[in-house]
Amino acid sequence: MPKVNGTLFGYYCDECEERTFLESPAYTSEIYCPFCGNQTLAMDSDDLRLLEEAMQE
């Protein structure tokens, strides 16, 4: 996985409507919501685009 310096990747939890921010992106199956423990967090679409751009470089 590429690392985008200075960028926090946001994951949104549908369960409790809280956002989790990580310094490095990870597969959603490995990310737990710190608020409710939900494992199915979705990456923000803006962050997903950043990640895709980083992988193309």
Cα–Cα distance, 33 to 51 (Å, whole number): 20
With respect to Zn ion, which residue has the nearer C-beta, 2 or 34? 34
Site string for Zn ion, 22-51 (x = CB under 5 A): -----------x-xx-x-------------
Closest CA to 28 of 53, 50, 47: 47
With respect to Zn ion, which residue has the nearer C-beta, 5 or 29? 29
User: Do residues 25 and 1 lie in contact, with contact meaning Cβ atoms separated by under 8 Å?
Assistant: yes
Binding residues for Zn ion (CB under 5 A): 13, 15-16, 33, 35-36, 38
